[in-house]
Amino acid sequence: MSSEQSSKKRVFSGIQPTGNIHIGNYLGAVRNWVIHQKEKENFFCIVDLHSLTVKQDPDELRRQTRSLAAILLASGIDPSASTLFIQSHVAAHAEGCWLLNCVTPIGWLQRMTQFKDKSVQQETISAALLDYPVLQAADIILYDAHEVPVGEDQKQHVELSRDIAQRFNHLYEHEFFVVPEPVIPKSAARVMGLDDPTAKMAKTYAHVRGHAVRLLDEPDEIMYVFKRAVTDSGREIRFSDDPERAGVNNLLEIYKAVTSKTPEEVERDFADARGYGDLKVRVAEVVIEMVNPIRERYKTLMEDPAKLDRLLAIGAEQAAAVSVPKLAEMKRIMGLVLPGESR
């Protein structure tokens, strides 16, 4: 690691390869990783082990994992500034999860909103679904990450990672783990479903036409989805926290995030709009402009899967160079005998 790198704040974030990556993931997380990557030392992880907490089709999971790597690169993740890797390629994450399980009270996991939400959708709840945030804590704290840029929905998990790091430090060795901070964007921290603006835009439902705009969607599809977006019976184009007006607010939030304008500038842009129809078309247009180059770069990257695999192999090596020694130290602190250690 260069001395320049070591003086930078360390960032860790992750994304699941299952479902279709959509503009909520991009605006809430990935774009912020890209924007700040030169200022930080970054680890971005495709969390395939997290995806396995619910049953996956094996071939589809493999396909989606590679495809997500290409999407992240196409979105601007630069391998010379950021380490991009697949979680299961670095065994330290799963091992670290086990060790952290030993210091995590089960009540902390049962309280997690995502666990409660996801477990009602499953016939059989895997032990891994409950354990999900402990693996996430291992991801983050094995890298001594200071910052974890995520959307609003992951705030609770990052806060749990803080609690777990602090508990380990308290039980074993003061200040062994850096206590990470969630970094939530000011715009688009929670992009809502276009078919139901009271529910978060979710990868799991991104295959339902009208719910989400997926990063690889063609312009016609994006226009179609925005035109069908649920709004209300009014005409006023203003930001609002009135639940009745959540649809229009969501469209304005998306526009604000894409254009990086202030709320006042956004409202001014729509002062001459002729109703919600106009609003929908103009939001669609800025989104189309944003995703077009990503989709084109993605196509090129997918033409060379061997290159993609090489990049991911380098990423895994770089990630292991940080997390494997940290894990070994963690084991030593907890009283495990390290292989070859004579003391």
Catalytic positions: 118, 200, 203
User: For residue 191, what is the DSSP state?
Assistant: P
Using CB under 6 A as the binding criterion, the count of chain residues that bind ligand TYM stands at 27
Residue number, 40 or 50, with CB nearest to ligand TYM: 50
Give the shortest CB-306-to-ligand TYM separation in angstroms.
26
By the rule CB under 6 A, 190 interacts with ligand TYM: yes
By the rule CB under 6 A, 44 interacts with ligand TYM: no
**What single string gives the DSSP state of each residue in 3-40?**
HHHHTSPEEEEEE-SSS--BHHHIIIIIHHHHHHGGGS
Give the shortest CB-190-to-ligand TYM separation in angstroms.
5
Give the shortest CB-36-to-ligand TYM separation in angstroms.
14
Residue number, 163 or 273, with CB nearest to ligand TYM: 163
Report the distance separating Cα 77 and Cα 218, nearest Å.
Answer: 22
* Interface map 45-64 toward ligand TYM (x if CB under 6 A): --x--x--------------
By the rule CB under 6 A, 200 interacts with ligand TYM: yes
**Helix axes of 58-74 and 305-334: crossing angle, nearest 10 degrees:** 100
By the rule CB under 6 A, 29 interacts with ligand TYM: yes
Report the distance separating Cα 182 and Cα 152, nearest Å.
Answer: 9
Please give the distance of CA 2 from its chain centroid, rounded to a whole number: 27
- Per CB under 6 A, the segment of 2-10, 145-153, 215-223, 297-305 that binds ligand TYM is 145-153
Report the distance separating Cα 53 and Cα 51, nearest Å.
Answer: 5
Give the shortest CB-179-to-ligand TYM separation in angstroms.
14
Nearest CA among 136, 236, 256 for reference residue 189:
256
Write out the binding residues for ligand TYM, residues 148-177 only, by CB under 6 A.
148, 150-151, 153-154, 157
Q: Which of 74, 140, 165, 311: binder of ligand TYM (CB under 6 A)? A: 140
Report the distance separating Cα 92 and Cα 261, nearest Å.
Answer: 42
By the rule CB under 6 A, 13 interacts with ligand TYM: yes
By the rule CB under 6 A, 12 interacts with ligand TYM: yes
Which runs of consecutive H residues, i.e. helices, occur in the chain? 3-6, 23-25, 31-36, 48-51, 58-74, 92-101, 106-110, 113-120, 127-141, 155-171, 219-227, 246-259, 263-269, 275-302, 305-334
Residue number of the CB atom closest to ligand TYM: 28
- Per CB under 6 A, the segment of 24-32, 65-73, 77-85, 214-222 that binds ligand TYM is 24-32
Vertex 212: Cα angle to 207 and 217 (nearest 5): 75
Buried b (16+ CB within 10 A) or exposed e, 39-64: ebbbbbbbbbbbbbbbeeeeeeeeeb
Residue number, 69 or 150, with CB nearest to ligand TYM: 150
By the rule CB under 6 A, 118 interacts with ligand TYM: no
E strand or H helix at 85, and its extent? strand 82-86
Q: Characterise 208 by phi-psi region: left (phi > 0), alpha (psi -120 to 50), beta (else).
A: beta
* Interface map 80-109 toward ligand TYM (x if CB under 6 A): ------------------------------
Which positions lie near ligand TYM, rule CB under 6 A? 12-16, 24-25, 28-29, 47, 50, 136, 139-140, 148, 150-151, 153-154, 157, 188-191, 200-201, 203
